Structure 1
Amino acid sequence: MSRSVIPFIFFALVIAGEWYGFQAVRTLVQNSSPATRRLTLAVYWVLTVVIWGLGIWAMSNRRQHASFKSYFGGLLLAMLAAKIVVVIPLLLEDLTRVARWAVQAVSGPKGSGEGRAISRSEFLSKAALVVGAVPFVSLIWGMAKGGTDYTVKRVTLRFPNLPASFDGFKLLQISDLHTGSFQTKEPLQRAVALINQQQADLVFMTGDLVNNYAHEVEEHIDTLAGIKSSLPIYSVLGNHDYGDYVQEFKEDRSLWQTNLARIKQNHAKIGWELLLDEARTVERNGEKIAILGVQNWGARGFAQYGKLDKAHAAADPTAPFKILLSHDPSHWDEQVHGYEDIDLTLSGHTHGMQFGVNLPFLKWSPVQYAYKQWAGLYQRGRQYLYVNAGLGFIGYHGRVGFLPEITVFELRRA
């Protein structure tokens, strides 16, 4: 599908959603008193206009705090999702009625009982409103609670080449903090406490510390510095850390460079060791594993700063087991497959799109149509990829289905 067509499709869905949403509400109160009908429809349109106005204002106001943009944008998203869902059954019903009318126009009525006027079923309108309430309530809940409802996922991985000294070794991964979206320190303080409860041997952060600006993390430096680890905490950069989406940085590259340098300094202030196409060695009882970290490398229009060949060349050749930190999971198919001695790749980036169905027997999110590997564990031969759903949020100020995630891996010898 051409990208130029997408705005027209979106516009058509919005118009259809507003039309059918109004018709459903009007049908719902058609048997009420005139005063009740007028009041209900007035409230409907006032709320619609206010939500649209707040959403457009927040999205277009560059000076507005990211959290307010997310809240108002999320409210608009919830309303649109509800109305678009309402469209589906009512549109199908209208198409069915039009088809029935066409058949009757050609063949003539087959009985007085079937000569009904074409009208929308009150029952179907009520059912459509109930169905439409599901995404609306879910998205509102996602903003009120889901965005900071931190979950710990535990994954056991077995490798034949894992050194014996690392059997039972615990890794912990966090990703996509997007600290610019937080209004207060409290959520990340809870997250850090939960991280420390896991008592991991080694901690990783796989990119997107901020939304765009280096200063966004600075009020959270003391909080994040509280993550405890006896070994260095290794981190990499994600696509948002470069500030590539900021217009002023595009116009003035010196500002871009200053912001990026400040981001790197903030990693150090937190106490994290930022890997920029580099490698480190972790040793236990004379046995070694290698940790590789690359800058962001994405295959779908995202920047490709990372140099995997450089990081791989820097790895200790005597280490039989290698872990790669690479923010974007598309890197795994595009380049990592060429390095068969990279045993485990840890990524983030997708967030599970912060919305979807995440059940043991069913996982679905719109992001799966853009990314082959988008949430959880993947295997190809002896190589594994894990895609962390992220700890923060951006755009939509919440999460539904794919809650903020802290992942704990236990490494075992096969």
Structure 2
Amino acid sequence: MLRWIIFIIVYLVLGFYTLQAIKAGTRYPWVHYAFIAISLLVLGNFIYQFTFGATDGRVLSRPKSYALGFLLTVVTFKIITVVFLLSEDLFRLLSGFYQKVFGIDKTFTFPERRRFLSLIAMGIAAVPFGGLLYGMYKGKYNFKVLKYNLEFDDLPDAFDGYQITQISDVHSGSFDNREKIVYAIDLINKQKSDVLLFTGDLVNNKAEEMHPWKELFSTLEAKDGKFSILGNHDYGDYVDWNTEEEKAENLEDLKKLQKEIGFDLLLNDSRYLTKGNDKIALIGVENWGRGGFKKAGDLKKATKNIQKNDFKILLSHDPSHWEDKVLHDDDHYHLTLSGHTHGMQFGIEIPGWIKWSPVKWRYKYWAGIYQELGQYINVNRGFGFLGYPGRVGIWPEITVITLKKRI
């Protein structure tokens, strides 16, 4: 309860301060009242969804997700505006003291807030405000196909030009537009890759979230098969289950769903992809993550039927596994495919110029291709979304990787 009280007080103080900028920027009372109304509606909806309206425990349902998204949008606008106002008020305070000490009139006067600075503050704050709204409306379904060519000295000859499509972090429980998902599935199939690899988090929490989408995802095509692993959300660890048996049943239901979709689920296991007399090893581990995440991934178990000198592709949901375990393993893993980070669903990417997201402060390898010690990893930015119901700058990704023999 104390946390709620502190949160509400801070939110209202930010709102009051921002209102001063709005009043300085425009004299129309309806604008002031509209800001107050929107601010209170967003706060009220957030409180309701996470208290009285919360019938799903810790599960971040769609209504909760949107309540969080709208709150984040309004708070971001307020914080940026307030930062500018504080700098302006500091100047006004110093100006008032200067007039009192050195001015002709020794009385202290607080100079009036300058209108143009209030307009500049709100103009700058409007950029992320509009971006976050766009991310919820359009950005979350702004699917991008990212293509890479990766060269290897020891790639088996028959696999020169072999094409892989990777998707990750579907989070089907967040979907709210079937037409957009139909488009994305069609976009995946248009790549006509040899193999399709899915690197975990099919659902947010429960297997039932995938039921409305099962038939659609079963239309995914790849001539050499579709393979998958589990992500941290697939285990149901973020739900207050009535019993452990209920949780275990949910996981079994999810595994059955993957099979019905046509995925060959690799649970610390391996398969060989063959072309003529050549083969490459496909290895899939269960989730292994740093910082409190489940550590069920077992490289030794997964590779028990694999030869040391095989060309290896590893599916591992969390890129921290690659950094902490895979890179320095006795075996050489030529290519690891991961997801998990979502690129935080927020950032700035201009190819060849800038690639930034706050998630880089937690994950060293957070999006795209990296190479260390002669081994590659691709961290897919994710197909779906979770938490904030949108994406800004970090768009949903379909990765297409072509393996090439280095000449």
* Length-normalised TM-score, structure 1: 0.90
Contact 1:179 1:220 in 2 (8 A): yes
Q: Secondary structure at the match of 1:338?
A: coil
Q: CA separation in 2, counterparts of 1:408 and 1:298?
A: 25
Contact 1:288 1:318 in 2 (8 A): no
Q: Secondary structure at the match of 1:393?
A: coil
Q: CA separation in 2, counterparts of 1:98 and 1:342?
A: 62
Contact 1:58 1:73 in 2 (8 A): no
Q: CA separation in 2, counterparts of 1:386 and 1:140?
A: 29
* TM-aligned CA deviation for residue 338 of structure 1: 2.2
* TM-aligned CA deviation for residue 9 of structure 1: 10
Counterpart in the other structure of 2:194: 201
Contact 1:14 1:84 in 2 (8 A): no
Q: CA separation in 2, counterparts of 1:10 and 1:161?
A: 57
Contact 1:16 1:84 in 2 (8 A): no
Identity of aligned residues (%): 41
What is the correspondence of 1:172-211 to structure 2 with a 5 Å cutoff?
Answer: 172-211=165-204
Partner of residue 354 from structure 2, selected from 353, 358, 362: 362
Q: CA RMSD in A?
A: 2.4
* TM-aligned CA deviation for residue 201 of structure 1: 0.6
Counterpart in the other structure of 1:254: 245
Contact 2:96 2:109 in 1 (8 A): no
* TM-aligned CA deviation for residue 54 of structure 1: 1.5
Residues 14 and 356 from structure 1, CA distance in 2 versus in 1: closer, same or farther, beyond 3 angstroms? Answer: farther
* TM-aligned CA deviation for residue 378 of structure 1: 1.1
Partner of residue 402 from structure 1, selected from 381, 394, 399: 394
Q: Secondary structure at the match of 2:392?
A: coil
Partner of residue 93 from structure 1, selected from 81, 88, 104: 88
* TM-aligned CA deviation for residue 69 of structure 1: 2.6
Does residue 221 (structure 1) correspond to residue 214 (structure 2)? The answer is yes
Q: CA separation in 2, counterparts of 1:270 and 1:192?
A: 13
Deviations 1:160-181 (A, max 9, x none): 1111111111011000000011
Partner of residue 223 from structure 2, selected from 216, 219, 230: 230
Gaps of 5+ in 1: 1-5
Q: Secondary structure at the match of 1:132?
A: helix
Deviations 1:192-219 (A, max 9, x none): 1000100101110000000000010111
* TM-aligned CA deviation for residue 109 of structure 1: 1.8
Q: Secondary structure at the match of 1:335?
A: helix
Select between 117-126 and 218-227 the one with higher mean Cα deviation.
117-126
Q: For residue 299 of structure 1, what is the amino acid of its counterpart?
A: R
Q: CA separation in 1, counterparts of 2:92 and 2:349?
A: 37
* TM-aligned CA deviation for residue 71 of structure 1: 2.4
Counterpart in the other structure of 1:314: 305
Q: CA separation in 2, counterparts of 1:287 and 1:125?
A: 67
Q: CA separation in 2, counterparts of 1:302 and 1:131?
A: 37
Counterpart in the other structure of 1:137: 130
Residues 373 and 13 from structure 1, CA distance in 2 versus in 1: closer, same or farther, beyond 3 angstroms? Answer: farther
Counterpart in the other structure of 1:74: 69
Q: Secondary structure at the match of 1:247?
A: coil
Q: CA separation in 2, counterparts of 1:213 and 1:246?
A: 8
Deviations 1:251-290 (A, max 9, x none): 5211110111111110001010000011111111211111
Counterpart in the other structure of 1:3: none
* TM-aligned CA deviation for residue 82 of structure 1: 1.1
* TM-aligned CA deviation for residue 301 of structure 1: 1.6
Contact 1:277 1:293 in 2 (8 A): yes
Q: For residue 18 of structure 1, what is the amino acid of its counterpart?
A: G
Q: CA separation in 2, counterparts of 1:238 and 1:62?
A: 25
Counterpart in the other structure of 1:18: 15
Deviations 1:95-126 (A, max 9, x none): 33334445565xx22578xx863332211111
Q: For residue 282 of structure 2, what is the amino acid of its counterpart?
A: I
Q: Secondary structure at the match of 2:376?
A: strand
Q: Secondary structure at the match of 2:148?
A: strand
Counterpart in the other structure of 1:40: 31
Contact 1:185 1:223 in 2 (8 A): no
Q: CA separation in 2, counterparts of 1:197 and 1:173?
A: 13
Aligned pair count?
Answer: 398
* TM-aligned CA deviation for residue 229 of structure 1: 1.0
Partner of residue 140 from structure 2, selected from 147, 150, 164: 147
Q: Secondary structure at the match of 2:327?
A: helix
Residues 62 and 263 from structure 1, CA distance in 2 versus in 1: closer, same or farther, beyond 3 angstroms? Answer: farther
Q: Secondary structure at the match of 2:340?
A: coil
What is the correspondence of 1:268-287 to structure 2 with a 5 Å cutoff?
Answer: 268-287=259-278
* TM-aligned CA deviation for residue 384 of structure 1: 0.9
Does residue 325 (structure 1) correspond to residue 292 (structure 2)? The answer is no
What is the correspondence of 1:283-298 to structure 2 with a 5 Å cutoff?
Answer: 283-298=274-289
Contact 1:59 1:73 in 2 (8 A): no
Q: For residue 152 of structure 1, what is the amino acid of its counterpart?
A: V
Q: Secondary structure at the match of 1:305?
A: coil
Q: For residue 327 of structure 2, what is the amino acid of its counterpart?
A: H
